[in-house]
């Protein structure tokens, strides 16, 4: 009995040890991770990419790109151009009514003629869908020159911005002579258009050059009164001229009465020259009055030329300075000198 029990115990131990070894082998297989198998680069004998490399990067970059950008890159440029801009004028002129901008194709360019009315109160224009090629741009306005511009529109520059100048057509030319018959250099000249009562029209103004000659640009058909001197203080008798619609130029000769000059020094209380001060010289006494206005230069000097003889009161009319008054006597053919002290406001 004892011998049989001992043999059974001895036979169980080898079976137990075998089962334990099998379990350990299975556990080792489960815990062992050799990593992903290497992949072929696609070329025989070529290097394989490193383990863990991101092979989807190009796809991710393509997915991250903006579809709108791709559409813009793929879409062709528009087959036409846009021409836009503004009509500009000299500071003394007015925008005339009835301005017309005309854009005509040149030989070899297919397209129709564009015509656009320009509003004087808003002198801007824009022409869309203009085919590429050569074009002739012209501004037509009564009383102003027609000065065409040639344009070449290309796909490289589909947006063209322009400034179209108004150039006066009719001109009043003339000469101003002093009482001695010599040229009155620097004399002011004014041409006032005759209009119906109650209507205000800006005058044409100019200064005579060293030869006493002047040009008044931008005249329109109609009647003008031309005189030497400022608009409200004529120095000479007015000369009336009439511009017919077909006329382009008129000549006027003006004669001054005996005149003198005034050299005024505008200074601070400390005696320093003051620039940019607007000064009036007003003639006193009976008869036709005269008011002349000048602005002091960087050296503080105001030069009044061609003043009718008489007594004058000189004072600053600048909004930035205050002054007293100075009385000056102007004699024919002579230059008076005076000093005006101003105080900043």
Phi-psi label, residue 306: left if phi above 0, alpha if psi -120 to 50, beta otherwise: left
Domain ranges of the chain: 80-165, 170-255, 259-344
Q: What is the DSSP letter of 112?
A: P
CATH code: domain 259-344 is: 2.60.40.1120
Q: Do domains 170-255 and 259-344 have the same CATH topology?
A: yes
Find residue 83's DSSP bridge partners: 127, 160
Tell me the C-alpha distance between 39 and 41, whole Å. Answer: 6
Superfamily for 170-255? Answer: Immunoglobulins (2.60.40.10)
CA distances in angstroms from 306 to 68, 255, 314, 323, 328, listed in the order given: 72, 12, 15, 24, 15
CA-based nearest residue to 222, from 206, 235, 204, 207: 204
Q: Tell me the CATH class for 80-165.
A: mainly beta
Tell me the pLDDT of the chain (345 aa) as tens digits: 444 444 444 554 555 566 666 666 666 555 555 544 444 444 344 444 444 444 444 444 444 445 544 444 555 667 889 999 999 987 656 788 899 999 999 999 989 999 999 999 999 999 999 999 999 999 998 767 777 899 999 998 899 999 998 877 778 999 999 999 999 999 999 999 988 777 768 899 999 999 999 998 878 778 999 999 988 889 999 999 988 777 778 999 999 999 999 999 999 999 999 999 999 999 997 655 688 999 999 999 999 999 999 999 999 988 888 888 999 999 999 999 999 999 988
Tell me the C-alpha distance between 127 and 150, whole Å. Answer: 15
Measured distance between the N- and C-terminal CA atoms of the chain, rounded to whole angstroms? 139
């Amino acid at each position: 009995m004892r011998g049989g029990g001992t043999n059974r115990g001895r036979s169980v131990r080898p079976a137990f040890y075998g089962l334990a070894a099998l379990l350990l082998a299975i556990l080792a297989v489960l815990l062992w991770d050799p990593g992903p198998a290497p992949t072929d680069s696609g070329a025989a004998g070529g290097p394989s990419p490193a383990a863990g490399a991101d092979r989807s990067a190009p796809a991710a970059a393509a997915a991250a790109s903006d579809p709108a950008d791709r559409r813009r890159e793929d879409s062709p440029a528009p087959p036409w151009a846009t021409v836009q801009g503004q009509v500009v004028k000299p500071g003394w002129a007015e925008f005339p009514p009835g301005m017309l901008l005309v854009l005509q194709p040149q030989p070899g360019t297919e397209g129709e003629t564009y015509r656009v009315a320009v509003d004087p109160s808003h002198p801007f224009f824009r022409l869309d869908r203009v085919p590429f090629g050569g074009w002739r741009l012209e501004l037509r306005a009564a009383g102003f020159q027609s000065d065409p511009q040639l344009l070449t529109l290309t796909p490289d520059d589909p947006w063209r911005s322009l400034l179209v100048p108004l150039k006066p057509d009719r001109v009043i030319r003339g000469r101003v002579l002093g009482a001695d018959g010599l040229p009155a250099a620097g004399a002011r000249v004014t041409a006032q258009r005759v209009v119906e009562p109650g209507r205000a029209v800006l005058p044409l103004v100019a200064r005579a050059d060293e030869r006493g000659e002047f040009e008044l640009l931008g005249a329109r058909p109609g009647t003008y009164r031309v005189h030497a001197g400022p608009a409200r203080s004529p120095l000479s008798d007015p000369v009336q001229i009439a511009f017919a619609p077909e006329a382009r130029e008129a000549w006027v000769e003006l004669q001054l009465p005996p005149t003198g000059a005034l050299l005024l020094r505008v200074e601070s209380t400390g005696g320093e020259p003051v620039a940019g001060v607007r000064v009036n010289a007003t003639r006193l006494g009976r008869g036709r009055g005269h008011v002349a206005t000048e602005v002091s230069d960087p050296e503080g000097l105001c030069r009044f030329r061609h003043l009718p003889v008489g007594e004058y009161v000189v004072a600053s009319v600048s909004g930035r300075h205050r002054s007293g008054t100075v009385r000056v006597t102007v004699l024919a053919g002579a230059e008076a000198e005076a000093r005006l002290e101003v105080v900043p406001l």
